[in-house]
Amino acid sequence: MNYRISQRAASLSPSLTLAIDSKAKQMKADGLDVVGFGAGEPDFDTPQHIKDACAKALAEGFTKYTPASGIPELRKAIADKFQRENGLTYKPSQIIVSCGGKHSCYNTILATCQEGDEVIIPAPYWLSYPEMVKLAGAKPVILETTDKTEFKVTPDQLRAAITPRTRLFILNSPSNPTGTVYTPEEVKAIGDVCIEKGVLILSDEIYEHLLYDGAQHKSVASFSPKHQEHTIVVHGFAKAWSMTGWRLGFLAAPEPVAKAIDAIQSHSTSNPTSFAQKGAVAALTGPQDHLKQWLTEFSKRRQYAFQKLNSIPGISCVNAKGAFYLFPNISGTGLKSTEFCARLLEAEKVAAVPGIAFGADDYIRISYATSMANIEKGLERLERFVRSLK
Ligand SMILES: *Cc1c(COP(=O)(O)O)cnc(C)c1O
């Protein structure tokens, strides 16, 4: 049999983060003392009242198909969240609940992009964006940024990259992998360029609630009705409610785009899990006090890791203003990111993600969604490794 793999699938790069992760897990399983900085999820448990709401729904037999785009109760709670927190008015029909924020991104790209289209993605980028664009048959156009500009794209840089083929610009603030947060003024300026050029914006705001040092998040959709018309806001329950395994995300879009995504979803995944959606209602409408505790803890770790990394000769790191990652520059060590991470894991049993996975080979990603004890131990080892290179 000739198992010819479709061009669509064959064009994908396998996930480097998963490769590192599985190697680290194997080493752990072999009894080795591995410190993992690879985590892309909070190390806290889902708050109890959310689990209770889900368990109750399950016990009551809420186990059947729901509308493909989510239960009305949840879509309403999401519309209320946008009104309350972002000053954005959406009808529930403009809200689509999907199987994770990743799925929301994918559906947005699939609904708006096709062969011949270009999608502008700032690097360092979340590693799934370019692959999703390729799956849609469109072309990722990467805009390079460095730590010198805090990994921010300027309006002029964006304007220069836009061609008649540009369909979509992907904005992710707060950012995975860099922790960068655009100021409200910067967000507005980026939005203005997209409006001027007739380009849609996919605004991935999944880290909206994870902010430090007084950083402010403002959705690009919220500056004017025109900004809202040009934007699809993507969000999810994974990060601020620690619900990664629940597979629940959502988006808010202009009516025609929401309608197209509803159709795609109705023929692919159908509805997100019924009883999980009841948990999500509790996440949005219940108490949010867990967040304050998590932020205090995250910020303490971030501050420690930021200072420790900058004390190591050959490493420099700008501080993160959001999310739970640092993205130190390792070019002073003379190594590129893949070799750096492979040798670090080999020599010191510390797992970090090579920046090349995010389109930035002079950096590595350190997740501080792990205990302070692990961070101290892991960074001591990282320092020993870097010093051993001299
Ligand atoms: C975690 C993450 C998502 C969504 O993750 P899901 O588990 O699919 O909800 C989306 N965008 C970015 C940048 C992320 O880091």
Ligand 1 atom nearest residue 238's Cα: 9
Asked whether 272 lines ligand 1 (CB < 6 A), one says no
pLDDT given for residue 390 in this prediction: 77
* Residue 243 CA, ligand 1 centroid: distance in Å: 11
Q: What is the pTM of this model?
A: 0.97
pLDDT given for residue 42 in this prediction: 94
Ligand 1 atom nearest residue 103's Cα: 8
pLDDT given for residue 17 in this prediction: 73
Whether the bond between 272 and the residue before it is cis, its omega within 30 degrees of 0, is no
As to burial, measured by CB atoms within 10 angstroms (0-12 exposed, 13-18 middle, 19+ buried), residue 48 is: exposed
* Residue 364 CA, ligand 1 centroid: distance in Å: 19
DSSP codes joined into one string, 273-308:
PHHHHHHHHHHHHS--HHHHHHHHHHHHHHHHHHHH
Please, where in the chain does CATH 3.90.1150.10 lie?
7-46+289-388
**CATH code for residues 7-46+289-388:** 3.90.1150.10
The C-alpha atoms of residue 372 and residue 244 are separated, in whole angstroms, by 21
By the 8 A CB rule, do 310 and 302 touch?
A: no
Q: Does domain 48-285 have CATH number 3.40.50.1370?
A: no
The C-alpha atoms of residue 146 and residue 124 are separated, in whole angstroms, by 8
* Residue 234 CA, ligand 1 centroid: distance in Å: 9
Per-residue pLDDT of the chain (390 residues; tens, 9 = 90+): 999 999 888 888 877 777 777 788 899 999 999 999 988 899 999 999 999 999 999 999 999 999 999 999 999 999 999 999 999 999 999 999 999 999 999 999 999 999 999 999 999 999 999 999 999 999 999 999 999 999 999 999 999 999 999 999 999 999 999 999 999 999 999 999 999 999 999 999 999 999 999 999 999 999 999 999 999 999 999 999 999 999 999 999 999 999 999 999 999 999 999 999 999 999 999 999 999 999 999 999 999 999 999 999 999 999 999 999 999 999 999 999 999 999 999 999 999 999 999 999 999 999 999 999 999 999 999 999 999 997
pLDDT given for residue 48 in this prediction: 98
* Residue 101 CA, ligand 1 centroid: distance in Å: 5
DSSP 316: B
Helical residues (DSSP H) of the chain, grouped into ranges: 7-10, 16-29, 48-59, 72-86, 101-112, 128-135, 155-161, 184-197, 225-229, 255-267, 274-285, 289-310, 337-348, 372-388
pLDDT given for residue 121 in this prediction: 98
* Residue 18 CA, ligand 1 centroid: distance in Å: 15
Residue to mutate (ligand 1; options 126, 181, 327; most atoms within 8 A of CB): 126
By the 8 A CB rule, do 211 and 239 touch?
A: no
Asked whether 126 lines ligand 1 (CB < 6 A), one says yes
pLDDT given for residue 307 in this prediction: 98
SS3 233: strand
